[in-house]
Amino acid sequence: MTTCGEFLVKQLQAWDVDTVFGIPGVHTIELYRGLPGSGIRHITPRHEQGAGFMADGYARVSGKPGVCFIITGPGMTNIATAMGQAYADSIPMLVISSVNERERLGRGNGYLHELPDQRALVAGVAAFSHTLMSVDELPDVLARAFAVFDGGRPRPVHIELPLDVITASADHLSVQPRVTAPRPAPQADLIRQAAQHLSQAQRRLLLIGGGCVNEPDAVRRLAEALDAPTALTINAKGLLPTAHPLLIGSNQSLPPVRQLAQDADVVLAIGTELGETDYDVVFDGNFRISGELIRVDIDAEQLQRNHAPALAINSDAGLAIEALLKQLPQRERDEHSSGAKRACAVRQQLADEFTGWAHYRRLFDCILEVLPEARFVGDSTQTVYSGNHVVELDGPRRWFNASTGYGTLGYGLPAAIGARLAEPTRPVISLMGDGGIQFTLPELASAVEARVGIIVLLWNNQGYGEIKRYMERRDITPLGVDIYTPDFLTIARGFGCLAERARDHAHLQSLLREAPSDRPLLIEIAEAPPFAP
Ligand X SMILES: Cc1ncc(C[n+]2csc(CCOP(=O)(O)OP(=O)(O)O)c2C)c(N)n1
Residue nearest to ligand X (CB): 433
Q: Give min distance, CB of 483 to Mg ion, in A.
A: 8
Interface with ligand X: number of residues (CB under 6 A): 18
Amino acid at the residue 313: I
| All residues at 6 or more sequence positions from 351 whose CB lies less than 8 Å from its CB, including other chains | none
Q: Considering CB distances under 5 to 8 angstroms, the limit depending on partner class, which of Mg ion, ligand X, none binds residue 436?
A: ligand X
Binding part of the chain for Mg ion, among 307-315, 357-365, 404-412, 463-471 by CB under 5 A, reads: 463-471
- Site size toward Mg ion, by CB under 5 A: 5
CA dihedral 277, 283, 284, 285 (to 10 degrees): 40
Closest CB to ligand X among residues 289, 432: 432
CA terminus-to-terminus distance, the chain: 67
Phi/psi region, residue 468 (left: phi>0; alpha: psi -120 to 50; beta: rest), is alpha
Stretch that binds Mg ion, among 19-27, 209-217, 426-434, 470-478 (CB under 5 A): 426-434
Helix, strand counts (H, E) of the chain = 21, 17
Closest CB to Mg ion: residue number: 433
Are the C-beta atoms of 452 and 421 separated by less than 8 Å? yes
Burial class of residue 241 in the structure, from the number of CB atoms within 10 Å of its CB (0-12 exposed, 13-18 middle, 19+ buried): middle
412 contributes a contact to Mg ion by CB under 5 A: no
Name the one range near ligand X by CB under 6 A: 97-105, 227-235, 281-289, 404-412: 404-412
Select from 221, 261, 214 the least CA-distant residue to 244. 221
Which of Mg ion, ligand X, none does residue 70 bind to, with CB < 5 to 8 Å depending on kind? none
CA distances from 347 to 202, 231, 351, 353, 363 (A): 20, 11, 6, 10, 20
Q: Does 434 bind Mg ion (CB under 5 A)?
A: yes
Residue placing its CB nearer to ligand X in the complex, 146 or 459: 459
3-state SS string for 475-531: CCCCCCCCCCCCCHHHHHHHHCCEEEECCCHHHHHHHHHCCCCCCCEEEEEECCCCC
Minimal distance, residue 103 CB to Mg ion, in Å: 50
Q: Is 461 in the site for ligand X (CB under 6 A)?
A: yes
Binder of ligand X out of 7, 279, 459, 495 (CB under 6 A)? 459
- Binding region for Mg ion (CB under 5 A) out of 68-76, 135-143, 180-188, 465-473: 465-473
Q: From Mg ion, ligand X, none, which one binds at residue 380 (CB under 5 to 8 Å depending on kind)? A: ligand X
Q: Which residues from 429-458 bind ligand X, rule CB under 6 A? A: 433-436
Q: How far is the CB of 79 from ligand X (least distance, A)?
A: 14
Q: Please give the residues from 359 up to 388 whose contact with ligand X meets the rule CB under 6 A.
A: 379-382
Q: Judged by CB under 5 A, which stretch of 76-84, 218-226, 416-424, 454-462 contacts Mg ion?
A: 454-462
461 near Mg ion, judged by CB under 5 A: yes
Give the long-range contacts of residues 41-44, CB within 8 A, separation 24 or more: 41/421, 43/19, 43/417, 43/421, 43/446, 43/450, 44/446, 44/449, 44/450
In the range 27-46, which residues lie near Mg ion by CB under 5 A? none
CA distance 32 to 115: 23
**Chain residues 464-483 in contact with ligand X, contact rule CB under 6 A:** 464-467
Residues that bind ligand X (CB under 6 A): 379-382, 407-409, 433-436, 459, 461, 463-467
